[in-house]
Structure 1
Amino acid sequence: MNQSKQFPQLSAIALAVLALSIHCQAAAQEASAAPSTPTAVQQEIQQVVVTGTASASGTRKIDAAFSITTATEEQLKMAAPSSTADIMKLVPGAYAEPTGGQSGANIQVRGFPSGSDSPFVSVQVNGNPIYPVPVLSFFEGSSSFRLDDTIERVEVLRGGPSTIYSVGQPGATMNFILKKGTDTPEGSLRFTAGTGNLRRVDGVYSGKIAEGWYGMIGGFYRVTDGVRKSGFPADDGGQLSASLTRKLDGGELTFYARGTNDKNAFYTGVPLISSNEGRTISAFPGFDPLTGTLMSNEMRNFTVEAAPGRTLNYDLGDGRGLKSTLLGMDFQQNLNGWQVSNKLNYFKGDLNTIAMFTGNNPLSAADYLRAAIASNNGNAATLAAAGGVRATTGVMTYVKGGAVSPNQQVVQAGLWAVEKKLQSFTDEFRVSRDIGAHTVTGGAYVANYSSKDVWFLGNSHLMSATPQASLINVRLDNGVVVANNGKDGNIFYAPVASYDGDNTALYLADEWRINDRIKLDAGVRREKQRLNASVSNLGSVDPDNNPLTVYNNGTSAPTGSFTSLEREDSVNSFTLGGLYKLTKDSSVFVRANQGHTFIYFDDMRNAGSQAVLDDRSRVPTPKVKQFEVGFKTATPLYSAYVNAFFTDFTGISFQQITTTGVLYSVSGSEGKGVEFELALRPITGLQLQLTGNWQDSEYKDNPSIAGNTVQRQPKFQYRFSPSYRLPLGEQAVRVYGTYSRIGSRWADQANQQFLPAYETLDLGVLAELSDKLELRVSATNVTNEVGLTEGNSRLTGGNASGPINARPLFGRAVEASLTYRF
C-alpha cells in the first residue's frame, strides 16, 4: 500500500492521539526533503474524529471537548490484540478480560459498574451500531465483530456527548471505520503463523472502479488449535467484507457488507491453588494454568437430555462463534449549506454459546463419593426408589475404562448450550447548519431488534482435574446412578424465549463558537423504548423416567405455556460541554452529561412481573450522571491527554448465573478518578508512552453491598510502551514493547473473591524488508505471568485456601507475519 513507509513509523501500542506524533524529528527531516508530506505532529493536529461529533463530517481531535482514543491499522497490529475486546488495552480507563478467547469478553469502563460482559460498551461500524443493545445474556457487543485488514482505524469515545447521538451509550463506544477505495489502487496480503498451530491469511484490495465509483474488498481465513490445548481445533473460520463508494457533488454515498462465519472455542476457569485468602495463586498439581484446559476430545461432542425422548447433540468446537451478515449504508451530502447525513444497517446472526462452564471447586474423588452417598441417602424420593436401602459405598470409574483413585482430584463442569438468533435494523438521520457562530444539529434515531433464545444451562459433568480431562461414572451400591457417561447433574434452567424491542429518539444540539478560543456545546435527547417478550414457563421432568438415575432427575423443561411481558420507558438525556484553547495546539475542556442504559431483555425476564409493574414498584430504568474535566496538548517533544471524571449511577441491574440458578440484583454506584495518555519523544525515533487510570468506585443504594468496591475494576492500572525506530538505509526496523500492571480487584460485588495484581510484558519487532515487503514478530505475556482476570463466577463466597477454579491469562504466545503490499 502507498502508506507502507508511514506505518512503520507508528508506535507499537500507542493511541492515535499520540501515535501521529511519533518520530516527529525524523518526519520533520523527511518533510524538509518533501515539503508536501506533513509531519507526524501536523497529522495529529489536523486529525479529524467522527465519533460523538454533532456534524457527520467530524471535528479536529484537538478541538473536541471530550475524551477519545483512536488507533490506526498499524497500531492495532502492533498491539497484537487476541480479540476485538482486547483492543481496549489501548484505551486508558478501560480494562478488558479477553481470556475467554475471541468472544464472550468482559469489558470494564472506569467508574461504570458492570462486572460481567460489556453493558457500557457499544460496537459500531462506520458510526452505526452493529446490534443496538450492547449486551444480552451470552452476548456482548465485541462478539459481533472480527478484526481484519479491512479496518482503517478505530475510534473509542468515552463518556462525552455520546449520550445524545446514535444509541446514546453513556460508557464507551468503539467505532470501526472501514477502508474505502481511492484514486490510487492499493492492496496487501498477510500470512501469519504462531502459537497453537495458528495459520491465517488476510487480504484487502481497494481502488477506483469507474469515474466517481470506488470499491474495497477483503477479509481473512484462519485455523488454529488455540492457545489452550483442548485436543480439537479451537478457532476455524473467516470473513469477507466489501464497500462501494459513490462520490457526489458535495458528499458521498457508501454501501458496505460483511459476512462472517467463525467458530471460536470459549475458555472458562481452570483448577488453581489459592492461599493467603486469595492473595497468592499457584499452579494446581499437574495442570499448567497458562496452556491447560479441562476440555477434551472425550467430551467435545456431548448430549443434552431436554425432555423424555428428546436428546440434543452439541459440539464444544463450535464454542461462542459468529455466523452473521451485516449490510449498511452511509450517506453524507451538503445541500445548500445543510449538512445531511444518514447511516443505517441491517444485522442478522447466530451467536450461539456451546461451551464448558466450571462449577464447584476441585476435591478428591473420595470426598466427592462421600458427599454423593450422604446427599442421596438424605433424599427421601431417591431412597424410596432404592427400596429403602441406604448406600454404604460406591464405584467410580473412568468412562473410557479403569478405576478412579480415591486421591484423584475431580471437578464438575457444566456443558451448556445456548442458541441465540439476533436480528436488528438501525437508522440515524441528522442535519446540521451553521447559523452565525452556531452550528445547530437535529437528528432522529430508530432501532428495531430481536432475539430468539433456546437455553440449556446446567448439564454438569464429573471429570478428572487434569488437562484434557477424563469423564467419570459413579454408581452407588444401592443401585443409584450418580454419574453416567460423566453426566452428574440435570439441566437446571431451560427457557425458550422470543424478545422484540424498538427504540425511537429525537435529539437537538448546538455548538456555539464564542470566539477563536472558547467553544460551548449542548444537546438534549428524548428516547422511548418498547419491549415485549414471550418466555416459556418451566417445570421439572425425568427424561428417562428412572428415579435411580439421579443425574437427570428434576430436569428443567418448558411446560408448553408462556408468560408474556411488555414494558415501555421514556427517558431524557443531555450533555453540556465547553472547550478553552490555551494555545493553538492545547486546550482544556469540561463536560457534564446524564444518560441511561434502559432495561434489556434479560433484565425483564429475570425480574418477571416486577419489571412491568407501575412506575412506583417496578425495576427502575438505570440512570447515569457524569462530570469530566480534561486537558490535551500535542507538541514535537511530548503529548498529554489527561481527564478527571466523576460518575453517579442508580438502578443498575446485575445477574450472576451460578451452578444452581440465576441470581438477580439492583444497585447503584458512584466513583471518581483520573485517566491519562502521556508520551515523550526525547530523541529521534524514540517514544516513551504511559497510559492508564486511577479510580475509586463504590456501590450504593443496595444495603447488602453498599460501600463495597465495584467488582472487577482495578483501582490503579497503567501501561508503559517504549518504541524505537532504527533507520537502515532506505528501510528501517522498529522494536517495541509494553509493560502492563493491573492492580488488585474484587471478582464479586460482596468483595469476597480477591483477584491479585499482575504484570505482563509484550514485545515486538517490525522489519521493512523492502518498499513492498515487511516482517513482523510479536510475543504476548512473554514472562508467562499467571494473572487472574476472573474468579469462580459460578459460586458465591470467598476464595478458600486450597483448590479453586479461576480464569488466568493465556501463556506466552508468539506470532510471525509476512506482509506483501502492492
Structure 2
Amino acid sequence: MQRHYKFVLSNITIAILALSNQAHAQDQSANPAALSKSADSQAEVQQIVVTGSAQGRGIRKIDAPYSITTASEEQIKEANPLSTADLFKIVPGVYAETSGGQTGPNIEVAGFPGGGDAPYVTIQLNGAPIYPAPTLSFMDNSSLFRLDDTIDHMEALVSGPNTVLSNGQPGATMNFVLKTGENGDEGLFRATVGTGNERRYDGFLGGKISEGWYATIGGFYRTDEGVRNSQFPTDDGYQLTGTLTHKLDEGKITIYGRTVNDKNLFFTAIPVTANSAGVPTGAFPGFNPLTGSLYGNETRFFTLQTGPGQSQNIDMSNGRGINLHTFGVDFTQKISGWDVSNKLNFVSGDVQTNAFFTGGVPQTMNSYIANAITNANKNTAAVAAGGLATTGSATYSDGSGTVAGNQQVLDAGAWYVDKQIRSTTDELKFSKELIKDHTFTFGTFLANYSSHDIWYLGNSTLMTATTNPKTINVALNNGAIISNKGNDGPTFYSVNDSYTGQKTAFFVADQWKINPALTLDAGLRSERQTINATLENISSQNIDTNPLHLYNQNTSVLNGTYQSVQQNDNATSFTVGAGYKLDKDLNIYARINSGHLMPQFDDIRGDAGSSVTAPVQGIHTYEVGIKSVGPVLSLYGSVFHKVFTGIQDSQILSSGQTIWYNYGSVTNGALFEGAWRPLTNLQLAFSGDYEDGKYSGFQGIDSSIGHSDNGNQLQRQPKFQARLTPSYRVPMDWGSIKLYSTYSYIGQRYSDIQNQQVLPAYHTLDGGIVAEVGDKLEFRVSGTNLTNTFGLTEGDNRILGTTSGVVMARPIFGRAIEASVAYRF
C-alpha cells in the first residue's frame, strides 16, 4: 500500500525550534560535552558563501537572506554522488533523476515545471557558468562537469539573488570552487575499485610556489563496466585541472584550466511489469531492472544509412560523453575604494550522444511478424514487386539460428547526436558603500555561445527483450526485408543546424543596513538575447530503389537547402529581500523574485517555418525562511509560492511525431535542512521538501491535446521527499573511524503531464565507513542502494497514456560498492 505523506513546516514552528535550540545552548554553556559540540558547529557558523552575493565578496551562510546549501570536500564524498547531478540530492527542493548514468539527467527544481533535461539548473565553476544556456537538447550543464579532488567545496542556491546575477538563473545554481593551494601545501593520491570492475585513480598537488604565488594540478583517470553489465566500459576517461593564483595587495587573481575526455554510457527505459492500471510493479521476465542493459557486444556498433550512398557510424560506448576544454580567470581587487570582481570563462569542445531510446513495449516474435505482414501488404509498391506476403521468418543477425515464435522482442532507436559547442562568458561587478549603510553594486554579464548540431534520430533496431540482446533479421515470403541486421526503421529526424547566441545583461543592486538587526537588499537586471540559426531542410526519401527494402523507406534526409531564423528577446528581472537578526546566529528572511528563462536554440528550431514565436518564460517566487545554528541543532527552513507563465515544451513520440505544449503552473511548498548533534561526535543531518504544484493555463498546440491537464500534478516531481544522514566519529589512538549512512524517501510522481504514468514512491539506503590513520592514510568503503531497491525515475516519454501488463520505465541502479585508499603527502 502506498502512503502519501504531507509535510508543511510553518515559520512559527521553525522559529520555536530554533529559539529553543539557542536557549538549550545557553543552558549547556558550562558543560564540557556541550562545548565540544559547540566546536563542531563553529565552522558552520563562520562559513562564508559567495554564490548569490551581489557585492562580490562573501557573506556568512547564516546571514545570507536566501536558501543556500553548502558541502565541503568531505561532505561531497560522504554523499556518495553517482554523478555531478546526483549531488543535488543534498539540496532541498531539487530532485535529480540520475538513472541514466553519469550524464543526461533530468533535474527538477521544486515548483519549476520542467519535465525533462535541466532548464532551471546552472552549474558554475568559480562563479562562472559552464555554458550560459542551462539546457540544450542532449546537453545540460551537469553533463559538462566532473567531480574530483580538485574541488574545495560546493555552494548551491535555489532561487534567491541569482535571478539578477551571472546568467540570470531563476532556479538552482550549483557553484563549485576549485582549490588554489592557498590553504597550505597538499598532495594526494587515491586509488578506487568497485562494482563493475571499477578502476579509478585520482591525484592532486597544490601549494605555495613562491611569495604570493600558488598553484595546483590534479585530476583522474577511470574505467568502469558499471552496475548494468553492457559487456564494454560504461565509463572511460580522464580529467586534468590546474590553477595559478597570485595574491594582490587588496585582492587576487586565479587562472584555471580544465580538460576532460570522458565517455559515459546512457541508459533509457527498459521493460518492467505493471498491474491493470499501468502502475509498474517489478521485473520483466528475464530482465533484471537493477542490473539489466540493452547494450552488449552485438548492439555496440551500427552503421546508419543517412541518405543514398551516405552513412554514419555509431559506437554506443561513446554514450553521452564529452571532450571539453575550459579556461577561466577569476579576478578580485579593491580599486579606488571600489570592490571590483571579474569572472571570465571560455569553454570549447565536443558533446556526443550515441544511445538507445526505447519506444513500444515488448511483444512476441510471432506478433511482430503478423504486424509486419499486415503493414507490408498495405505498401502498394512492395505488393506490386513481390505480391502479397503470407508468412515470415526471423533469424538472429549473428547467424546463430531461428528466433522462436514466443521470444519476446522490442524495438529501440539507435540515436546519434553530435554537438560542437563553444561559449565565452564574462561577469564584471563594481561595489562600494557610496552613502552610509548603503552598498551599491552594478555590473554586466556578457555571453557569446554557439552549437553546431548533427542529429540522426530514429533508426529503429529489432532485438530480443533481454539483457545484452541479440539483433534480429526478418524477411517475408514475398521477398520483403523488414529488418536488416536488426535495422527495421529509418532515421525519422535529421538535423544539420548551426546556432549562435548573444546575451547582454546589466544589473544594479543595493544593500541597505537599516540597523544592526535589519538589512534590506534589492536588485534589477535588464537582459537582451539574440539567437541566429541556420537550419538545413530535410525531405523524405527511400535510401535505395528496391521497393522490397521496407526498413529504409521514408528516411529523413538532409537535402542541401537551408533556412535562417533569428529571434530577439528582452526581459527584466528583479529581486527584493530582507533579513532580520533575532540573535547572533538566528535570522529570518523574506524574498520576492521575478525572473525569466529565455528561449534557447531548440525552441527556435521548433518554431522555424511557423508563425509561432518561442515565448520568454515568466517566473515569480515568494519565499519566507529562517536560519539557526547552535551547538545542538542547526536548522534552515522556508516556505514558498511560485507562479510560472509562458512555458513551451515538446514531446517526440515513438512514431516520430512531435507534440508541442504551452502551459504555466502554480506551486506552494516548504524546504528544510539541518543537523542535530545530541552527543559528541554524533550527528543526524536531515533535509527535504514538500510541494503542491499544479499546471495552469494549459494549451496543447497539437490538436490531440486539450485543456484537461490544468490542475494535474507537475510531472516527475514528488510531493514529498526527505533524507536522513546519521554519522558517528570514533576517535582512536591511531586516528579515527567515521560511520555514515543516508536514508532517502522519494514520494509518488507522474512521468507524464497527463498524470497517467504513475511512478511509485521508493526509498534507498546508502552508507560508508572511513578510517583515518594518522594524517597520511585514508581507507574508505561506501555503497549506494544497499537494499537493492526497485525504484523508477522515468516512464515512457515516447507514448501518450500508459499500457497494462508491461510498461517501459527507467529504474535506478542496483547495489554498488566501492573501496578506496588515499595517501596524503
Q: Distance in 2 between matches of 1:574 and 1:294?
A: 47
Which residue of 745, 753, 756 corresponds with 1:752?
Answer: 756
Distance 1:249 1:129, change over 3 A: same
- Residue 424 of structure 1 aligns with which residue? 423
> Out of 692, 713, 719, which is 1:715 matched to?
719
Q: Partner of 1:461: helix, strand, or coil? A: strand
Do residues 816 (structure 1) and 819 (structure 2) align? yes
The whole-number CA distance in structure 2 between the counterparts of 1:202 and 1:53 is 32
CA distance in 2, matches of 1:222, 1:182: 28
Residue 781 of structure 1 pairs with residue 785 of structure 2 = yes
Measured against aligned partners, the alpha-carbon deviations of 1:307-360 in whole angstroms (never above 9, x if no partner) come to 111122110001000101000000000123210010001100111101111111
Equivalent residue number for residue 735 of structure 1 = 739
Whole-angstrom CA distance in 2 between matches of 1:807 and 1:225: 19
The answer to whether 1:398 aligns with 2:396 is: yes
1:669 is matched with 665
Residue 66 of structure 1 corresponds to 66
- TM alignment of 1:96-245, pairs within 5 A: 96-182=96-182, 184-245=184-245
- Partner of 2:608, secondary structure, is helix
Query: How far did residue 151 of structure 1 move?
Result: 0.2
**3-state secondary structure, aligned to 2:806:** strand
2:271 equivalent in structure 1: 271
> Per the alignment, in what secondary structure is the counterpart of residue 369 of structure 2?
helix
- Cα drift, residue 284 of structure 1: 0.9
Q: Is the 8 A contact 2:38 2:631 kept in 1?
A: no
**SS of the residue 2:86 aligns to:** helix
How far, CA to CA, are the matches of 2:497 and 2:80 in structure 1?
Answer: 38
CA contact (8 A) 1:278 1:756 kept: no
Secondary structure, aligned partner of 2:679: coil
Paired with 1:406 and 1:655, the residues of 2 have a C-alpha distance of: 37
**Alignment partners' CA distance in 2, 1:142 and 1:32:** 40
- 1:514 is matched with which residue? 514
1:38–1:327 CA distance, 2 compared to 1 (3 A) = farther
AA of the residue aligned to 1:520: L
CA contact (8 A) 2:410 2:465 kept: yes
What is the CA-CA distance between 1:380 and the residue it aligns to?
Answer: 2.5
Once the 2 structures are TM-superposed, how far is the Cα of residue 626 of structure 1 from its aligned partner? 0.4
Determine if the alignment matches structure 1 residue 803 to structure 2 residue 806: yes
1:698 equivalent in structure 2: 694
Name the stretch that deviates more: 114-123 or 536-545: 536-545
Residue 280 of structure 1 and its aligned partner are, at CA, apart by: 4.2
Structure-1 separation of matches of 2:609 and 2:575? 33
Shifted more, 99-108 versus 800-809: the winner is 800-809
1:771-798 Cα offsets, whole Å, 9 max, x none, are: 2101110011011011001111122212
Cα pair 2:276 2:805 within 8 Å, conserved: no
Query: Aligned AA for 1:629?
Result: V
Contact 2:38 2:632 in 1 (8 A): no
Q: Which residue of 2 aligns with 1:657?
A: 652
Q: By how many angstroms is 1:183 displaced?
A: 6.3
Give the SS at the match of 2:382: helix
Gaps of 5+ in 2: 1-17, 699-706
Note the 1:249-268 alignment, pairs <5 A. 249-268=249-268
Residue 631 (structure 2) pairs with residue 636 (structure 1): yes
Aligned residue number for residue 558 of structure 1: 558
Alpha-carbon distance, 1:247 to partner = 0.5
Distance of aligned partners of 1:426 and 1:29 in 2 relative to their CA distance in 1, 3 Å threshold: farther
Take 2:38 and 2:244, find their aligned partners in 1: how far apart are those partners?
Answer: 29
1:623 aligned to which of 618, 622, 630 = 618
Structure 1 pair 278–684 and aligned structure 2 pair: CA distance change class (3 A): farther
Give a deviation string over 1:704-723, Cα, whole Å, max 9, x none: 42111110000011111111
Distance in 2 between residues matched to 1:385 and 1:442, nearest whole Å: 73
Deviation of 1:32 (Å): 8.5
Deviation at 1:29, TM superposition (A): 6.7
- Residue 619 of structure 1: how far off its partner (Å): 3.2
Match of 1:334 in 2: 334
SS of residue paired to 1:681? strand
Cα distance in 1 for partners of 2:48, 2:34 equals 21
Q: Distance in 1 between matches of 2:718 and 2:384?
A: 52
| Counterpart-to-counterpart distance in 2, 1:491 and 1:113 | 30
CA deviation string 1:99-154 (max 9, x = no partner) = 11111011000000001110000011000001100000111110000000000011
8 A contact 2:296–2:469 mirrored in 1? yes
- TM-superposed CA distance for 1:187, in Å, is 1.3
What is the CA–CA distance in structure 2 between the aligned matches of 1:364 and 1:634, rounded to whole Å?
61
Aligned residues, how many?
790
Deviation at residue 544 of structure 1 after TM alignment: 2.2
Q: Which residue of 2 aligns with 1:6?
A: none
Q: Which sits farther off after the overlay, 207-216 or 180-189?
A: 180-189
How far has the Cα of 1:803 moved from its partner?
2.0
- Checking the alignment, whether the CA contact within 8 Å between 2:33 and 2:680 is kept in structure 1 is no
1:8 paired residue number: none
Describe the shift of the 1:238–1:786 C-alpha distance in structure 2 as closer, same or farther (beyond 3 A): same
Shift in Å, 1:547: 1.6
Q: Is the partner of 1:257 in helix, strand or coil?
A: strand
State the Cα deviation string for residues 48-100 of structure 1 (Å, max 9, x = none): 11001012112111111000001111011111111110000111111001111
For residue 492 of structure 1, give the secondary structure of its aligned residue in structure 2: strand
The answer as to whether partners of 1:128 and 1:166 remain within 8 angstroms in 2 is yes
C-alpha contact (below 8 Å) 2:202/2:220 kept by paired residues: yes
Q: 1:225, CA displacement in angstroms?
A: 0.8
CA distance in 2, matches of 1:545, 1:628: 64
Structure 2: how far apart are the matches of 1:153 and 1:187? 17
* Residues 569-578 or 718-727, more deviating: 718-727
Quote the residue 2:730 is aligned against: 726
Check whether the contact 2:278–2:805 (CA below 8 A) recurs between aligned residues.
no
Q: Hey, what's the Cα distance between the residues in 1 that align with 2:532 and 2:183?
A: 49
Cα distance in 1 between the residues matched to 2:676 and 2:653: 47
Give the match for residue 603 of structure 2: 603
Task: Give the deviation of 1:367 after TM superposition.
Answer: 0.9
Shift of 1:227: 1.3
8 Å CA contact 1:192, 1:201 repeated in 2: yes
Q: 1:77 to 1:317 in 2, by over 3 A?
A: same
What letter is aligned with 1:429?
L
Q: Is the 8 A contact 1:265 1:319 kept in 2?
A: yes
Structure 1 CA distance, aligned partners of 2:319 and 2:731?
45
Give the corresponding residue for 1:9: none
Distance, in Å, in 1 between the alignment partners of 2:56 and 2:126 is 11
Structure 1 length-normalised TM: 0.94
Q: CA deviation at 1:689?
A: 2.0
C-alpha contact 2:365 2:405 (8 A) present in aligned 1: yes
Please give the secondary structure, in 1, of the residue aligned with 2:143.
Answer: helix
Partner AA of 2:569 in structure 1: D
For residue 793 of structure 2, what is the amino acid of its counterpart?
Answer: T
- The aligned runs of 1:673-688 (5 Å cut-off) are 673-688=669-684
Residue 348 of structure 1: aligned partner: 348
TM-aligned CA deviation for residue 821 of structure 1: 1.0
One-letter identity of the residue aligned with 2:514? I
Deviation at 1:30, TM superposition (A): 11
Letter in 2 for 1:695: E
CA RMSD after TM alignment? 1.9
The Cα shift of 1:618 comes to: 3.0
Q: Which residue of 2 aligns with 1:505?
A: 505
Instruction: Report the TM-score when normalising by structure 2.
Output: 0.94
Aligned position for 2:409: 410
Describe the SS at the equivalent of 1:169.
coil
Give the counterpart letter for 1:652 in structure 2.
I
Paired residue secondary structure (1:407): coil
